[in-house]
Amino acid sequence: MMLWLFCLLPSARAQTKIPLETVKSWADAFGGELYSIATKYSGSLLLQKKYKDVEPTLKIEEVDGLELVKKFSEQMESMLRRKVEAVERLVEAAEDADLNHEYNSSLEFDYYNSVLINEKDENDNYVELGDEFILEPNEHFNNLLVNTTYSDIQLPTNVYNKDPDILNGVYMSEALNPIFVDNFERDPTLTWQYFGSSTGFFRLYPGIKWLPDENGVISFDCRNRGWYIQAATSPKDIVIIVDVSGSMKGLRMTIAKHTIITILDTLGENDFVNIIAYNDYVHFIEPCFKGILVQADRDNREHFKQLVDELQAKGVGTVNKALTESFKILREFRDAGQGGLCNQAIMLITDGAVEDYEAVFEKYNWPDRKVRVFTYLIGREVTFAPNVKWIACNNKGYYTQISTLADVQENVMEYLHVLSRPMVINHDHDIIWTEAYMDSALPQSEELFASQAQSLLLMTTVAMPVFSKKNETRSHGILLGVVGSDVPLRELLKLAPRYKLGVHGYAFLNTNNGYILSHPDLRPLYKEGKKLKPKPNYNSVDLSEVEWEDQDEILRTAMINGETGYLSMDVKVPVDKGKRVLFLTNDYFFTDISGTPFSLGVVLSRGHGEYILLGNTSVEEGLHDLLQPDLSLANEWIYCITDIDPDHRKLSQLEAVIRFLTGEEPDLECDEELVQEVLFDAVVTAPMEAYWTTLALNMSMDTEAGVEMAFLGTRAGLMRSALYVGSEKISNRKFLTGKDKESIFTMDHFPLWYRRAAEHPPGSFIYNIVSEDDSEGGDLPEVVTVSTAVAVAVDGKKGIAAAVGVQIKLELLQRKFWMAMQQPNDSDCSALDGACPLSCQDDILNCFLIDNNGFILVSKRPAETGKFFGAVDGSVMTQLLNMGMFRRVTMYDYQAMCKVPYHHHSGARPLLSPIYAFLAAVKWLISDFLIFLLEFNMSSFWHSDNLADAKAVFHHSHKHKKQDTLQPCDTEYPVFVYEPAIKETNGLIECGDCQKMFVAQQIASSNLLLLVTDATCDCSIFPPVLLDAKEVKYILPVKCERMRSQKLRRRPDTCHAFHPEENAQDCGGAAEVSISPTLLLLPLALLLR
């Protein structure tokens, strides 16, 4: 197809005329040269012939996606059931141990404290609670140092390790040790098993050494973890009411804010929440949420925390209106069948209540008392204590008084014990499964972040509550704690083998709330400086934000409802970090995983993605070819199970397959279908080794310098490679290694060079350059990866058997390019219309080699290599878009992180540390010392660890630099795609006082284009065409609507809201706290240090 574009004005003049025939002859010559190099050194024609030869023995079967997803689901259910059984055994052992244990307030008992183990004093004796505890590295536990014969005990810094309650609980729970070990022997795929006690200690198996943070503090408290809270209580709708009247100024407001934050941290995605602040009037702290409850997912909780930090105290407090508003919201949600439809509660945070509020309770809550009211009296003042306690005791709630920041945690946890009573009295052991989360509490979490695919870092926990079975405490409903075990999601996904899903296929999991549990496009981490960190909303990414082509949420709705079915969608799949896009038709097959709140989806791409190739060969023949040194297997795939038996853990997948085939390890469990495919591919691809070796021996370093490596990969994860240069001369050492995940077969995906080749016409090569911002240290790209797919056809069915390629130095490509882009001086120019003889080296021309997404491979200016062409020449890119040779595709990223300008108020720091109390206290000390003496008590800080924490955080706050922070956002970004139907085009661009001519010519058998443009005409009046992502800014009404929207979700199956036998009179009381005058000067002392 030939297009002409003339935009001529009388004043303008065409400065350089480029003959079309010349450009076409250059493109043909260069294309021929490239094709010759690529076919010769990759051996693609030989590999195609070898697969063609075996077509008669091949079978191509269509994959039944529905059967596949059901089979995977059954296997996952079976695996998860084993985890549940392990937890059930622990629950039974813990409850029996408690039943047989008599509380002893003077008990003395030494245990393994995970912080103190193996610690010695100055006399080289083990410290108390720190005896010798043997630790060995274990691959099954991410190579952490562990003790698989014993558990140990972790305690948060604010819990005294010799407290009688702790000692009795630890002593009683020693009975779990043999069960931990037995569970692990029965099911070696188990990972961490643990018991979190309601008193605060955490028993972990296998035992590890727990390291304090840089401030010497252990902040981990098992009672704050999602698995503990979810197992201890049923879903809850909560309205938090906070008094912001003038009397709440200073330290009281600080404590109130920290109380709200702590309550928010006890909520999860099955809970609903809102926060109302009141003084002279009532206001919702997020106006968008007026009159409703919102899901307490991580996004909303973090949003509330930022708003809580901005609360200020002023005016007079009138609680009645706030209570009335809260009761109305809860009733409306209950009547409409919205929210959690289980527990409902109001949390009242105040420094006093003097009104007559009885009428409010009579109207809205009595006699049924469907809403529990929990009250938190802030400060030392006891005048209002009887009133505030009366509110809680007459509404099935609990009353606590909070005088210091250190009191907050323990007092907030009391409400969970009250909500757990009905379940405990009933002895209902509900099994809960948590949303996906990342365990950053354990040592080495940062190294794990860097070493694994992001989507596979996550885990879920199965947990069950542990109750006291003693008859005398039945009506009190005593929760002893929660037992749990972690299930890494990569273990689940191993049951959906990659080879069965085709080149672009994948499996994914989501929760009853529609959130992603596991998906190859989930990116839970972001980079801050050089550190990888979890995104604030990493585990509340909705399925509709990853599968965003599902505009009507048909897929989401069906999966949340636990349906089994099928759906087809045309999708745009971003690859190469969003710089390129594949257009696919995907078939989605889905079903639920019985006994869990999860659903499983399997995606197969239409066409070759729905066929599986079955070849046949003898073990003897295949084994011989498997032993060739150039061959490797995808080590993340499961050919044989090597991570259970300790003797097998040292084996690579290739070594395991060989031992399985030779009978050396008869007890190895292997995937026989996959092993058969590997044997077949090993035989078919075996001649490539001799072909590549012969070429390497006969290479001419003069004409062929720059060809570095040949490689191939098959659909069974088998890879072969050969070096054409010494290993020390390889430009890209990461290629085909674990350091370049995009270039190898992983659990998540096929290599990028394989995926792109599969969507390109067979026999045609994909040339891929590392784009400018991906190259390390901003260096210019040095190599080009060239690949092509090998297709086979049987009975009209076409499948992709393999991809093969070569990696060449960019320098070789450039050398061949400039040699081809010139006419000899003695050229016959008589038949040409335009400049002749012509060369791309001439000053009047700019010549570019660009790929099908517009990235520059060759330019006169080396600094432009790897850049997007539109950023270099906006005028020509604009014309190519107007002509249809390129088209712009708009893509969306709902997991982006955007810069937010530095803001003085930190949304988290002041609320998360007692230091804020110290600073507030100092201000108060200066302004109103007498009131301070009456109100503030710091005796609970008289502990060296807390003091260390306070000092450390104080110093940290002074180091805090002004810098932009990153926060989750939605972005849209363009990807530019060449339209291959347009082989060539040319035109003139009006640039003011001159016209700029350009010619674009496709290079045959490749994804490349030759662009020749006039260099003499300045066309800078055209702006550059950029790839920048733009944040999607929602106007306030739209933003508000998005925030308020209640997406479809499936509620947990069980609810325990009330029990007629529960002791509602156990509703709390004021704790007596003594003042230590010396400690009142601590804040000032800290500031003066």
Q: Does the pLDDT value for residue 689 go beyond 70?
A: yes
Please tell me the predicted confidence (pLDDT) of residue 14: 47
Q: Does the pLDDT value for residue 593 go beyond 70?
A: yes
Please tell me the predicted confidence (pLDDT) of residue 424: 86
Q: How many Å apart are CA 193 and CA 208, to the nearest integer?
A: 12
Banded pLDDT at 644 (limits 50, 70, 90): confident
Could you tell me whether strands 459-467 and 707-714 are parallel, antiparallel, or unpaired per DSSP bridges?
A: unpaired
Please tell me the predicted confidence (pLDDT) of residue 454: 61
Give 617's DSSP letter.
-
Q: How many Å apart are CA 957 and CA 913, to the nearest integer?
A: 11
Q: How many Å apart are CA 976 and CA 1028, to the nearest integer?
A: 12
Please tell me the predicted confidence (pLDDT) of residue 834: 59
Q: How many Å apart are CA 93 and CA 175, to the nearest integer?
A: 7
What tokens were used for 130?
């720190």
Banded pLDDT at 780 (limits 50, 70, 90): confident
Q: Does the pLDDT value for residue 790 go beyond 70?
A: yes
**What would the pLDDT profile of 546-583 be if each residue is shown by its tens digit?**
998 888 999 999 999 999 999 999 999 999 999 999 99
Banded pLDDT at 1082 (limits 50, 70, 90): very low
Mean pLDDT, residues 610-621 taken together:
90
Other C-beta atoms within 10 Å of 859: how many?
22
**Cβ neighbours of residue 452 under 8 Å, at least 6 residues apart?**
490
Banded pLDDT at 532 (limits 50, 70, 90): confident
Mean pLDDT, residues 463-469 taken together:
94
The mean pLDDT value of the chain amounts to 86
Q: Picking from 62-76, 393-407, 821-835, which range would have the lowest pLDDT averaged per residue?
A: 821-835
**What would the pLDDT profile of 145-170 be if each residue is shown by its tens digit?**
999 999 999 998 888 889 999 999 99
Please tell me the predicted confidence (pLDDT) of residue 1076: 33
Q: Are 1046 and 338 in contact (CB under 8 A)?
A: yes
The CA-atom distances, in angstroms, between 588 and each of 51, 252, 542, 559, 983 are 30, 54, 17, 11, 35
Please tell me the predicted confidence (pLDDT) of residue 905: 39
Percent of the chain residues past pLDDT 90, beyond the cut = 64
Q: Are 228 and 482 in contact (CB under 8 A)?
A: yes
**What would the pLDDT profile of 294-316 be if each residue is shown by its tens digit?**
999 888 998 999 999 999 999 98
Banded pLDDT at 318 (limits 50, 70, 90): confident
Q: Are 64 and 596 in contact (CB under 8 A)?
A: no
Banded pLDDT at 699 (limits 50, 70, 90): confident
Q: Does the pLDDT value for residue 940 go beyond 70?
A: no
Phi-psi region of 156 (alpha: psi -120 to 50; beta: other; left: phi over 0): beta
Q: Does the pLDDT value for residue 766 go beyond 80?
A: yes
- 1053 alpha-carbon distance from chain centroid: 27
Banded pLDDT at 442 (limits 50, 70, 90): low
Question: Could you identify the residue written with the tokens 């080289």?
Answer: 124
- 796 alpha-carbon distance from chain centroid: 41
Please tell me the predicted confidence (pLDDT) of residue 985: 95
Mean pLDDT, residues 644-655 taken together:
88
Please tell me the predicted confidence (pLDDT) of residue 528: 82
Other C-beta atoms within 10 Å of 521: how many?
20
Q: Does the pLDDT value for residue 910 go beyond 70?
A: no
**Cβ neighbours of residue 278 under 8 Å, at least 6 residues apart?**
241, 242, 243, 244, 245, 317, 318, 319, 321, 322
The residue ranking higher by pLDDT, 202 or 901, is 202
Q: How many Å apart are CA 899 and CA 664, to the nearest integer?
A: 57
Please tell me the predicted confidence (pLDDT) of residue 785: 97
Mean pLDDT, residues 119-136 taken together:
92
Please tell me the predicted confidence (pLDDT) of residue 684: 96
Q: Does the pLDDT value for residue 938 go beyond 70?
A: no
Please tell me the predicted confidence (pLDDT) of residue 1078: 33
**Cβ neighbours of residue 294 under 8 Å, at least 6 residues apart?**
272, 273, 274, 300, 1043, 1044, 1046
The distance in angstroms from the start CA to the end CA of the chain is 79
List residues bridging with 591 in a β-sheet: 600
Q: Are 296 and 274 in contact (CB under 8 A)?
A: no
Q: Picking from 215-219, 246-250, 570-574, which range would have the lowest pLDDT averaged per residue?
A: 215-219
Q: Picking from 420-434, 584-598, 1041-1055, which range would have the lowest pLDDT averaged per residue?
A: 1041-1055
